[in-house]
Amino acid sequence: MTISPLTSWLAPDYDISYTGNPLRHVDYLAVTVGPRPYLSSSEEAAAHYIEDILRQKGLSSEYLTNVTATIQGEREESFLFCAHFDTVETSPGADDNASGVAVLLELDYPVFPQYTILLAFFTGEEKGLVESTHMADALQRDLKGVICVDTVGVGRDLHISCMTSHRATSFWLAHLIYGISNEGRPSIGPLFSDHAPFNRKGIPAVGITRSTNRMYPHIHSEQDTTVLEDYVQETCTLIQKVIYHISSTENPYAFVMKALLISIVLSIGSSCGVWWMTCSLSRKS
pTM of this structure: 0.91
pLDDT at 284 over 80: no
Average pLDDT over residues 220-249: 95
Measured in degrees and rounded to the nearest 5, phi and psi for residue 256 equal: -70, -45
pLDDT at 4: 67
* pLDDT of the residue at 154: 92
Q: Which segments of the chain does DSSP mark as H helices, in order?
A: 4-10, 23-27, 41-56, 99-106, 130-138, 167-181, 196-200, 229-248, 254-284
| Domains annotated on the chain, with CATH | 4-254 (3.40.630.10)
Confidence of residue 273 (pLDDT cuts 50, 70, 90): very low
218-252 burial, b at 16+ Cβ within 10 Å, e below that, comes to bbbeeebbbbbeebbbbbbbbbbbbbbbbbebeeb
